[in-house]
Structure 1
Amino acid sequence: MQSLRVSLRKEVDASYDIVVDSGLLGRTAGELARGRFGKRLVLVCDETTRALFGETLLADLRAADVQADLLSVPAGEQSKCLAVFERLCGDLRDLRISRKDCLVAVGGGMVGDLTGFVAGCYMRGLPFVQVPTTLLSQVDSSVGGKVAVNLPGAKNYIGLFHQPKKVLVDVDTLASLPPRELDSGLAEVLKYAVIADAEFFSYLEDKRDALRSLEREAVIRTVATCCAIKASIVERDEREAGPRMVLNYGHTLGHAVEDAMHYALTHGECVAYGMRAAARLANAMNLFPAADYHRHEQLLDRYGLAVAPLDLDPDELLRIASGDKKNSGGRITFILPTSLGQTTRRDDVPQDLVRSVLADTLRRA
């Protein structure tokens, strides 16, 4: 027998900058040109962000003598699938895009996830830049390198870790959002306060009106704080081996609600139901002190999140949640709060308790 070893021990610096500002989109062409991320740039938008931002950015890039093209996909979560992924890869082939080129995701979470997955797979990897235009994507999905598409009944099951080269966040793009989409992003904002920053939680208790009216200083501080929290977690656990799982607070049951509702609710709306249920589980298990639990409930109420009853079967949600890719040993893994700013990971939550809490939460959040 012969045995050989392939030695590939090496470190790759995948660090990148996140820039958060007002009016940044007008400077994005210059940022992309100076960054030299690729010989050619391909903007990827959905139909909505193409009209709002993509065409203007394309014109700015060409005016700056940057070789650039633009591709778009239908708006909505249904585009985050293998069929659209394949189509985009074919479009890149037709444009003769090579590894020396770069993709630029201009849009919300669906666009960023889909573009990042294409970038990670096409020709075994292209660089890409995130230009998130929704609150949810600005505070969460654009940072950390988790990119994926969905399978039927299985959210984000086909994916990889592929970090962007830069994240350019213009908070002014949030003015284009309908109130419901803004609220969806605010659910993720509240998540960061619960899992990592009690002082930020207090700030959010006082700043609902400022955030909903898109007061510049409050929005920039909020987006930057969320990005800083996520960056610090990703730096410790890029591949979700342990500490990064805290970011799934509210997502285990939230994804189940999202699936059961066939994406009729936004991602953030579903996560809010998941957070409310997780906090109730933690309180019922004597993990989450009553005072903190009531502040958690009141903050969701104040932001109008997870307040409407849902006509869903708790057993169906349990069935969906049992297939979550972060589970182990056949048991559902929950991130549960132990105080504002602190959590624990538990896989020993009694199913009867989960079923009871879900029934109460769905009946009257």
Structure 2
Amino acid sequence: MVRKAAPEPEQKAPAIDLPFAAAEVSAAMARWLVHVGAERRMSAKTVEAYARDVRQVLAFLCEHLGARITLKALGALTTADLRAFMASRRGDGISGRSLMRTLAGMRSFARWLAREGLAEIGALSAVRAPKVPKTLPKPLPVGSAKRIADVDLRAGEDREPWVLARDAAVLALLYGSGLRISEALGLKRRDVPAPGAGDVIVVTGKGNKRRMVPVLRSVLQASADYVALCPYALPDTGPLFVGAKGGPLSPRIIQLTMERLRGALGLPDSATPHALRHSFATHLLMRGGDLRAIQELLGHASLSTTQIYTGIDSERLMEVYRAAHPRG
């Protein structure tokens, strides 16, 4: 007789203490967070932001309604209740973009509650998200972007050579391969080949999605220079980039590095580490890069996300259109 394997136990939801909500709401929220993190494969930062946003809504509603929030109270919410929350946040100086994200988190929670048969929050569908002005990314000039990883720019700083080499290698990856700062700092030593040993790296992006990204030899050389100078052991399975004490490197260090380089290169405050990623995409587009290919390189799930870069170089796109179209 062959015994059937026992089903794997479901992931247990962590306990959540919500003093402004009933135990049933706290338990539901804990299960929902497991759902968005595991089943929908959202990043830990996104799950944390969702949890914080829903907490804010529930805390406000508790004070607004004068009682701890229950599942029944959630189902009885009116559009006036939700608009009161939005007005309160606006009064605190919260931007429309932040409000839009909060509503997105609350709507996700509401959909899960409805799917589980716990509550129907119909008022959410009648509340419009605030309008958010579209802003285009601000890429660096090509010349400045190419110099951003030049160690000589920081020659006057009182920092060890390996630290300067490390920062240069990270910045080279951001511009040379269009990585997010979290993706660059998440690289393991084994992920980046030595110069001449390969020209592709595998990056883990949002939602734990992995993609292959080409890497320039000069970028690989910058990483190799840093590894050669680093005073700490860098095992293959450990982080490639480490901090001053040998632990994982904080993104804040790279942000401060960019602040110093802005002064050296005369760049505006918009020249952030993330602007290097925008510069990567924009400069590829300016040189005739295909939008679909750029989408794959950036790891965007939707082409519409990548299309924000087309507004920067619309004149060149129109020239291509007029030259390529049969009626042009």
TM-score surpassing 0.5?
no
Structure showing greater Rg: 2
- Structure with the largest fraction of helix: 2
TM-score, with normalisation over the residues of structure 1?
0.24
Normalising by structure 2, report the TM-score. 0.26
- Larger strand percent: 1
